Amino acid sequence: MEIDISSLSKSYGKISALKNINLRIEGNGLVMFLGSNGAGKTTLFKILTSIVRPSSGTVRVDGVSVDSDPKKVLSKIGSLVEEPEFYPYLTGKELLEFTARIRGVKGRDVEEELERVSRLTDISDYIGRKSGEYSRGMKQRLGVAVAMVGNPGILILDEPTFGMDPGGMLEMRKVLKGMKMEGGRLIIMSTHLLEEARELADRTIILNKGVVSYDSGRKDGRVLVKVTGIIDPSFKPSNGTLVESGEGYSTFELSDKEFIPDFNRELMKSNSRIVYINPADELEKEFRK
Amino acid sequence: METPLESLSTVYSYYLKNYYRSKSFYLIFSLVIVASILMVFMSIRYLPKIDALFSSGGPVPAILKDKVVLYLWSYVMSDLPVFAAVFFSSPAISSEIENRTAFHIFSLPLDRSVLLLGKYLAAASASLISMAAFIVAEIATALYLFPDISVAPIFVSFAMLVVFILAISAFTFMVSSFFNKNIYSYITTFIIYFIVFDAANLILSILYNYNAFFLLDNAASIIPRIFLDVSPSVFGGQFSLNGAPLGNILLSLSVMLLYIIISLVVALVVFERKEVR
């Protein structure tokens, strides 16, 4: 599976939700879009799922443009965008059946498919009830199950733990981990919770005010090192720069991880009083920006 | 993936299920039953008084009596699809946006034309089903009061009713496609049908002595006019104790079919471009 996002922008009137996004997502695993509210995550997901059209730029899934052949693209994508709402007089089972049939699952396979996704998302207990009677957490789970029906190669999940109580969040993360463990698919998810990204993501992309401000999949070799202790004010590493300094710690950015031994050597030679050196939490630093 | 026809069948069956389980369906169904009971009561209680409706002095012939009764039934019946369509079709597209179900349905591998058509057929079917009690009551009453009645005009009238349900449903789908909120859709449909159409009708007939045959409510008046060619909504309109001539039936049929085609095309064009912010 391969998603190619090229020069993608989206405006709602005078508001720019996405500004010239360029990304390439391929293979399996879980790619997490991290960002605060209004960062552009949901807009990006809406474009990926053909709910809105881009103002400019293209999104291609396995070489096919979402804009020109949405049906073909959507046959490869299962999605849960925003808080899920379903037809209130249909039961969870009927909604799953409906989705399965639209996705081309036929005959006895429908029952098997429903059994599989209900088990994975743990919704079997209430699948026979009308969705209008579901709580928010139940709807979220049903939404994930609906996204999984037909076993699409790409799953797009927009803040699937949003609005859940802590217990529900933990349960949902367990479900997501289970899906990740199952393998064989690309999961694209969004969150505004840093710990969720740390716990689940194979690759994290931070969106900030409609632009990509960080991508852990970017292979530019940069590395952050956090030094706890008192740093000699005259210390200047030959292959890096001081990027952040706080009470009792300093963070350096090195242009490549191969310079870490040199950095350590130079630091030892300086008049610094070091407690320990470890890789800095790059994600937190970028997210805080 | 399903073929377009399979998808249409799937969309139709699940939407119909969602419609006939809804509170709106039970509400309109109950109202139709009340209307049916009132009409049965009216037919049996006041049939002997039909003579008094005509000032000729002599007794009304039996053939005219059954026409009058069927005309009155069909006259009431021709307004019911408007209410049913407002219940089922007015929010058809706007509700997808307002209730946020569009996030689910728009992201499925489903052509929007198939979605629109499937939903439209389901809404029209729900309207028709909700009126079943009235249709059954009309036939039963007619056969009870007039055992020798010819059923052909009744079936022509019902056929016109079905076309009208399809036309008014298509029209309300079109209105619904312009809005993202159900309330605007409901109000606009009512205003257009009961105020704009009536006003246009009056203006054209009073000021220009012109029968606005192209208005949907005038075309729908063919449902009772199958029995007696009387148009109370047209100022100074025709009055005949015979049924409407074939030419008028075909004209009304053509107008309603045009409403179906034009409304669905416009609804589809708007629906294809619909975004959910």
Q: How many domains does chain B have?
A: 1
- Does residue B209 fall inside a structural domain? yes
| Minimal Cβ distance to B14: which of A71, A90, A103 | A90
B10 and A83 within 8 Å at the Cβ level: the answer is: no
pLDDT for B51 equals 67
| Minimal Cβ distance to B111: which of A71, A82, A83 | A71
Query: How far is Cα B104 from Cα A49, in angstroms, rounded to an integer?
Result: 10
Q: What share of chain B is helix, strand, coil (3-state, %, to 5)?
A: 75, 0, 25
A49 and B17 within 8 Å at the Cβ level: the answer is: no
ipTM value for the complex: 0.85
pLDDT for A124 equals 92
Query: Which amino acid, residue A15?
Result: I
Whether A15 and chain B come into contact, CB under 8 Å, resolves to no
Residues linked to residue A212 through DSSP beta bridges, in sequence order: A207
- Does residue B277 fall inside a structural domain? no
Chain A closest CA to B272's CA: distance in Å? Answer: 11
Whether A98 and chain B come into contact, CB under 8 Å, resolves to yes
Letter string b/e over residues B155-186, b meaning 16 or more CB atoms within 10 A of that residue's CB: ebbbebbebbbbbbbbbbbbbbbebbebebbb
> Exposure of A104 by Cβ count < 10 A (0-12 exposed, 13-18 middle, 19+ buried)?
middle
A74 and B6 within 8 Å at the Cβ level: the answer is: no
Contacts of A152 in chain B (CB under 8 A): none
B104 and A51 within 8 Å at the Cβ level: the answer is: no
Whether A12 and chain B come into contact, CB under 8 Å, resolves to yes
- Does residue B117 fall inside a structural domain? yes
pLDDT for B57 equals 58
For the cut 70, the answer to whether the pLDDT of residue A6 exceeds it is yes
- Mind listing the domains of chain A with CATH numbers? 2-215 (3.40.50.300), 223-288 (3.30.70)
DSSP letter at B191 equals: I
Closest CA to A76 of B6, B1, B105, B275: B1
Pick the range with the lowest mean pLDDT from A95-104, A180-189, A216-225, B172-181. A216-225
pLDDT digits (tens, 9 = 90+) for A13-60: 889 999 999 999 998 899 999 988 889 999 999 999 999 999 999 999
| Minimal Cβ distance to B107: which of A51, A83, A94 | A51
A84 and B104 within 8 Å at the Cβ level: the answer is: yes
pLDDT for B234 equals 57
Whether A62 and chain B come into contact, CB under 8 Å, resolves to no
Letter string b/e over residues B239-265, b meaning 16 or more CB atoms within 10 A of that residue's CB: eeeebbeeebbebbbebbeebbeebbe
Whether A89 and chain B come into contact, CB under 8 Å, resolves to yes
Structure tokens at B237: 């309109």
pLDDT for A283 equals 74
Domain containing residue B182: 4-272
pLDDT digits (tens, 9 = 90+) for A178-187: 888 888 899 9
Q: Which residue of A has its CA nearest to B113?
A: A71
| Minimal Cβ distance to A86: which of B101, B108, B276 | B101
Query: How far is Cα B96 from Cα B116, in angstroms, rounded to an integer?
Result: 11
CA quadruple B167, B168, B171, B172: dihedral positive or negative?
A: negative
Residues belonging to chain B with any Cβ–Cβ distance to chain A shorter than 8 Å: 1-2, 6-7, 10-11, 14-15, 17-19, 21-22, 99-104, 106-111, 275-277
One digit per residue, the tens of pLDDT, for chain B of length 277 reads 778 899 999 999 999 999 999 998 999 999 999 999 999 998 888 777 776 666 555 666 777 788 888 999 999 998 888 988 888 888 888 889 998 999 999 999 999 999 999 999 999 999 999 999 999 999 999 999 888 888 899 999 999 999 999 999 999 999 999 999 989 998 999 899 989 999 998 899 888 888 889 999 999 999 999 998 887 665 555 667 788 899 999 999 999 999 999 999 999 999 998 888 8
Contacts of B6 in chain A (CB under 8 A): 101
Whether A102 and chain B come into contact, CB under 8 Å, resolves to yes
Whether A133 and chain B come into contact, CB under 8 Å, resolves to no
A84 and B17 within 8 Å at the Cβ level: the answer is: no
pLDDT for B59 equals 67
pLDDT for B53 equals 63
Structure tokens at A101: 């049939």
Q: What are phi and psi of B149, to 5 degrees?
A: -65, 150
Q: Which residue of B has its CA nearest to A48?
A: B107
Chain B closest CA to A22's CA: distance in Å? Answer: 22
